[in-house]
A and B are shown apart, each in its own frame.
Chain A
Amino acid sequence: MSKRLLALILLIALATIAPLVFTIIVKMDVPRALKSLGLYYVKNTINDTASPETVTAIVWDYRGLDTIYETLVLYLAIVGGLAVFRVKEVALKTKIGLTSFARSSTRIISLLIATISLAIALHGHLTPGGGFPGGSALAVASMIVIPVYSANALIARGITSTRLVAIRGFALTGIGLVAFLPTIRGLEIVTNQAFYPATVLGQLISGSISLYNLFEFLAVMSGFTAVALYLSIPEEVFKVAEGA
């Protein structure tokens, strides 16, 4: 243990000295102004995409096609992950959970996480965040519920992996439709402001950006929750299934 501590102190000392020496020799200059590319986005995002959030505007509008392909890659990765687990859902019917203290605190925490994740996802076109962070945050909530309440608690409430995969398919179809719809009027694929309205009933929805955020939220949440459901199967169940 003491050897480990010594190595740790040595590592931190080296890491402190090395940048100091480097800065004295090289004399790095800190940039103080925005680059012209950054300035373009800051000035024009609100007119081009009707979204005040530059990063989301770049992700879902300026570089929208890239993000759609990225979503497809994640979809294939999760399909591959689910294909590895070949056990039926009957195996998940264990009812062992944790004590009532853990249950009560998990109830509060998971409710908070769910609320925040919805806020992150649905305000993605106005504030930092978006579909992917929101969806992964909600998946984290289900990942704490599974060990504390047991996977059976989720399945008994109708959150089965079949339904989750169905939600995922629906959400990805939604993303595809939102991307393809502008081509009906002869516009380019992944068009935003020329086809979708910027506001609905006086609320700024930034055209297709909020739709993409909503569908991405559903897709990421259901995908990760389905993987967590299958990962929570104990290893013994696999051995029994192989032996049978």
Chain B
Amino acid sequence: MILTLVLLIAASLLSLAFVYLAITERDLLKAAAFSAGQSVMYAIMLQTMGAADIVMTYVAVSVGLYSALLVFIISKTERCEG
């Protein structure tokens, strides 16, 4: 029980850190990678809470499809912001 809670807290804090890094990053490719890191942390949280079905969809869409689409779209514009 305590391990579950520790894992949940650690994953949520790390996801917060990833979100901050993704928002403040000027290199868009790195920002997309940080965003994928946040999704991995969310997947760990969902798995800890026992939602295996959601994890399947979440990992495929949020870590895979979403990041790949972002990289494709960044290739159509400039890599650095501002």
For residue B64, which residues in chain A have a CB less than 8 angstroms away from its CB? 136-137, 139-140, 143
Bound Cα distance A55, B61 (Å): 18
CB of A207 closer than 8 Å to a CB of B: no
Asked if A140 and B16 sit within 8 Å, CB to CB, the answer is: no
Write the chain B residue with the least CB distance to A11.
Answer: B20
Q: Does A130 contact B (CB under 8 A)?
A: yes
Q: Mark B9-25, 1 if CB is under 8 A from A, else 0.
A: 10011001100110010
Chain B: interface secondary structure? helix
Instruction: State the majority secondary structure of interface residues on A.
Output: helix
Asked if B69 CB lies within 8 Å of chain A CBs, one says: yes
Q: Does B53 contact A (CB under 8 A)?
A: yes
Partner of A140, one of B13, B56, B65, B76: B65
| Given A128-B52, A129-B53, A235-B76, also A8-B68 (CB < 8 A) | no
Q: Which residues of A contact B21 (CB under 8 A)?
A: 8
Binary CB contact string for chain A from 1 to 45 against chain B (1 if under 8 A, 0 otherwise): 000100110011001100100000000000000000000000000
**B17 to A12, Cβ gap below 8 A?**
yes
Question: Closest B-chain residue to A128, C-beta based?
Answer: B52
Tell me whether B60 and A136 are in contact (CB under 8 A): yes
User: Which residues of B are found within 8 Å of A234, using beta-carbon distances?
Assistant: 75-76
- Determine whether the beta carbon of A16 is less than 8 Å from that of B65: no
Known contacts A7-B20, A136-B60; A56/B13 CB under 8 A: no
Asked if A144 is at the interface of the complex by the 8 Å CB criterion, the answer is yes
Complex contacts, A132 vs chain B, CB 8 Å: 57
CB under 8 Å from chain A, chain B span 58-80: 59-61, 64-65, 68-69, 71-73, 75-77
| A135 CB → nearest B CB, Å | 8
In the complex, what's the smallest C-beta–C-beta distance from B39 to chain A, in angstroms? 13
Which one of A64-72, A163-171, A224-232 contacts B? A224-232
Contacts A7-B20, A140-B60, A224-B65 hold; do A231 and B13 have CB atoms under 8 A apart? no
Check A136–B57 contact: CB distance below 8 A.
Answer: yes
Q: Using Cβ atoms and an 8 Å threshold, which residues of chain B touch A129?
A: 53, 56
- Contact (A4, B24) CB under 8 Å given A15-B13, A144-B68, A232-B72: yes
Provide the bound-state CA to CA distance between A113 and B77, in Å: 29
Cβ B76 vs Cβ A133 within 8 A: no
- Asked, given contacts A137-B64, A143-B65, whether A128 binds B72 with beta carbons under 8 Å apart, the answer is no
Q: How far is the CA of A4 from the CA of B21 in the complex (A)?
A: 8
| Interface assignment of A120: CB less than 8 Å from any CB of chain B | yes
Contact A11 B17 (CB under 8 A): yes
Instruction: Give residues 85-134 of A contacting B (CB, 8 Å).
Output: 120, 128-130, 132-134
Q: Smallest CB–CB gap between B29 and chain A, Å? A: 13
Chain A contact residues, CB within 8 Å of chain B: 4, 7-8, 11-12, 15-16, 19, 53, 55-56, 120, 128-130, 132-134, 136-137, 139-140, 143-144, 147, 224, 227-228, 231-232, 234-235
